[in-house]
Amino acid sequence: MQTHTLDLTRIRADFPILSREVNGHPFVYLDSGATSQKPRQVLDAERDFVENYTSAVHRGAHTVAGEATELFEQARATVASFVGVADDEIVWTSNATEGINLLAYSMSNASVGRGGAAAERFRLTTGDEIVVTEAEHHANLVPWQELAARTGATLRVIGLHDDGQLRLDEASSVIGPRTKVVAFTHVSNVLGAINPVEALVRLAHEVGALVVLDACQSAPHLALDLRALDVDFAVFSGHKMLGPTGVGALYGRKELLDALPPFLTGGSMITTVTLTETEYLPAPQRFEAGTQRVSQAVALARATEYLHEIGMPAIEAHEAALGERLLDGLGQIPGVRILGPGRDVERVGLASFVVDGIHSHDVGQFLDDRGIAVRVGHHCAQPVHRRFGATASTRISTYLYNTADEVDQAVQAVADSRAFFGVDR
């Protein structure tokens, strides 16, 4: 039975790195928004596969190849179940960035006639529009800029209110009959705000546009049901949700994936090849050319099982409490400006902030000297920083293994940095 109370002592014991010291202090890891730590169970799953099952999947006819293929496809089914979709609606990618690029380039291929009549809805040309938001990570902005440049489509942007919330009033006028794609983040990696998916999906589908959801900051922290959200495509990365680097997933509705022309081509994604033409497998295999990230997929599946065993509602509640504590603590420090909405708005347990008179890199270094790891810079989201008059910020992001005491240590260190750099006078 899932509860909303986490056994932090037990959970933290699963993460070897949390027992180390950094610069003579117990290690405090508050940078899970960038990449998460990995529990022993995930490390063991990948090691077990490499030691006992290494083989080429979907290719060999020998026993170990068959076992490897079965584990690979079991992993797909496990990850698909975790986000509420069918097995054949999950495409393995290296990360979410690759997933979005896969979509954008496949749409480019459709736009030059590849895919036949089935790919018609993916074709873009002059006069068509792609809609994004001002809060996007570069990975959900630059690929669409490039698609617009290749096809002649126009990129349009939904702006932000001064408190960091999306301008839904603007969205209803930006999304219109020319809109072909609406791509947006579920949770901003800078602002921490949870965007109104239902409202944006409704606006997009009313005009026949495809919805692409960046779920990198929601899949690790919220109970995610992509089918219920009614999005057409979604991406997420394994390394942000206790899994290894080098693996992520693209979700697409089965009928859409089967109609979408492939991007990467080569072995394992074909049915018939002659010297002049090729026929492709249905999804998901048509998007998985070449040797796959097999051990990483197996490890990601184990990561989703670990999250499920603890309970996503419990994780969400724990992080919400840490997030409120973080916002309250930072809000009491003079000269600290938090980017994004306050605690009265639905958000996840992260906060990006600017300390007046101190560069974010210096704040981060001061915290690092105390063994506290945070993120500094523009977090691959320059436009949203520019919107709020900042070139960079310091970001503290929590996860299931963090404690209230760790949040308090980080807040105190931020407060102490003002005295250290002489800006508290």
Q: What is the pLDDT of residue 204?
A: 98
Phi, psi of 354, rounded to the nearest 5 degrees: -120, 135
Q: What one-letter code names the amino acid at 39?
A: P
Helix axis angle, 312-331 to 294-310, nearest 10°: 80
Which domains are assigned to the chain? 8-30+311-420 (3.90.1150.10), 45-308 (3.40.640.10)
Annotated catalytic residue 216: no
pLDDT along the chain (425 residues), means of 10: 73 98 98 98 98 91 94 98 98 98 96 90 96 97 97 98 94 97 98 96 98 98 98 98 98 96 91 92 92 96 98 97 97 96 88 97 98 97 96 98 98 97 86
Q: Which of 28, 79, 12 is nearest to 237 (CA)?
A: 79
CB atoms closer than 10 angstroms to residue 183? 27
Strands 393-397 and 375-377: antiparallel
Q: Which of 133, 6, 1, 62 is nearest to 402 (CA)?
A: 6
Say if CB 42 and CB 33 are below 8 A apart: no
Helix axis angle, 404-420 to 360-369, nearest 10°: 120
Q: What is the pLDDT of residue 5?
A: 81
**Rounded Cα distance, 144 and 103, in Å:** 10
Instruction: Compute, in degrees rounded to 10, the torsion defined by CA atoms 347, 348, 349, 350.
Output: -80
**Catalytic residue (choose from 8, 142, 317, 380):** 380
Q: What is the pLDDT of residue 4?
A: 56
